[in-house]
Structure 1
Amino acid sequence: MQNNNFDIYNLPMAGKNYMKTGLYPAEQKIVDKYFKHDGAHILDIGCGTGRTTAYFSRFDNKIIAIDYSESMIRMARERFPELNFMVADARRMPFENADFDIAFFSFNGIDYIYPKRERLEAIVEIWRVLKPGGLFVYSSHNRFRLPIGRTRLKSYMKNLARGTLFSEYSMDFCEYGPLLTYWGSIWSEKIDLKKSGFKFLDFFGNKYSSSISISLLESYTYYVFRK
C-alpha cells in the first residue's frame, strides 16, 4: 500500500484541522481517573498543534511535546511559544531510558505508523522511555466499527471496493487527504501491548462504555496501559 501520511500531515490544511483546544470526553475521563497533576513528567506524542499539550500545561507538570510533522510543530510553537515542542519520531526518540511518568499519544497518531512492524517498534520505544509504573495512554481506530455517518460510509465503500475493508491497514478518506490507517480492536491491542511488556488497565469511549458498543459504534477506543 502507498503511504503518504508524512506528506499529508505536513500540509498546512492538515494543521488547521487540528486547531481545537481542550480534551475529548474519553481523554477527560482518563485524566480525571489516572492523572494526579503532581509534577509528573509527561511526554505528549503526536501533539499536532498543541491541543493536549496546552491542557496539560495548566497543571504542575513538566511536559515535552513531539510530532514528526515540522508543519505541525511550527504551528504549535506559534500558538504556545512558552511550551516545549520538538520535531521527533515516536519510533526513535531522543530521550533517556525511564525518563517519563506518562506517555500520551494523541488522537490515534499511533495508527498512522506503517507497517505494523514499525507501529510495534514505537510501542517498544514508548516502553523504553517510561519509568517503571509509568502510564501509556493512546487511542486507536476500531476495525469493526459500523459505517454510520457520511464520512465513515465513504471510507467504508471505498475500502470495500478495494478489498481492504477488514484489513489491518486501509485508507481513511479524510478532508485533507487519504491516510493509510491501522485498524485494530480492544482484543488485539491488549495482545500487542502485553507482548511489549505493558499491563492493561482500562479502555474508554467518548460516548459508550461497553467493549461491544465502543467497537461497533465509535471510530476509536482510548486505552490506558502501565509499564
Structure 2
Amino acid sequence: MHAGHRERMISRLKEFGSEGFQSHELLEMMLYSSFKQCDTNPIAHRLIDRFGTLSGVFSASENELCEVEGVGRSTAQMIIVLRANIERMLSESVQKGEMLGASGAVKDYCMGLFRFVDTEQLRMIFLDSEYCFMSQEIINTGALEQVRPDIMRLLEKAVQKRCPIVVMTHNHPRGSEMPSTEDKIMTRNLFNLLEKAGIYLADHVIVGMHGSLSMRENGILPDIWNDF
C-alpha cells in the first residue's frame, strides 16, 4: 500500500511541481529515503506541528528534531545535511559578475542567505566598481545577545578583498528588521572607516523574522547616504 502511495505522490510532484502540495506532504516525500517501509505522513505532521513550517523544521537543531516521535539521529542528520545544501544553493543564487546595484536585488539575496539561520550572523557582500557581485563572507556569528561585530575586522576583510564597494548585512532571527541604536552606530563607524580606506559602504541590509530592510533605501542615516 505504501509503495503505491509513494509512487503516486512522486508522479504528481514530477508532473505538477511543488505548488499543489502542502508542506507536510513535501516533508513526507523527503522522508521516504529514511523510512523504506513505514508511512511517513504522521512523522511529517508531527514535525510541522512541532516547528510550525518547513523553514522551522530545517532551522531546528539535531537534538530538537530527535525530540519528535519517530525521528532518530540518522533522520535528523539527513535534514541538517539537506539544510546545508540548501544554504549553499541560496548563497550561490547570485553568480560572480551579476549586478546587485538595486536595493531590491540585494535584499532578496540577503533574505536567501539568512533563510535557515537561527542565530544572529553578520556578513559582508563584496562588489566591484559596477556593483557586480564578487563574493560574500561570514564575519561573525553567535547567540543573539553575544554578537558584537568587530569593526576593525570588517575593515580588514574589505581591504583584503580589494573591492571598492561593500554591503553589510545581518539578521534579527527572532525580531524585527528595524535597526537598533547599536546597528546605526556600527554602520556609521564602519562607513567612516571604510571611506578612509577608499571603500564605499553602499548599504546595510537587516533581515528580520518577517522581512528585510535596506537602511539606505529607507533614508536611515541620510547624512552618509544623501542620495535619498
Q: TM-score, normalised by structure 2?
A: 0.32
More helix by share: 2
Q: TM-score, normalised by structure 1?
A: 0.32
Greater relative contact order (Cα < 8 A, sep 6+): 1
More strand by share: 1
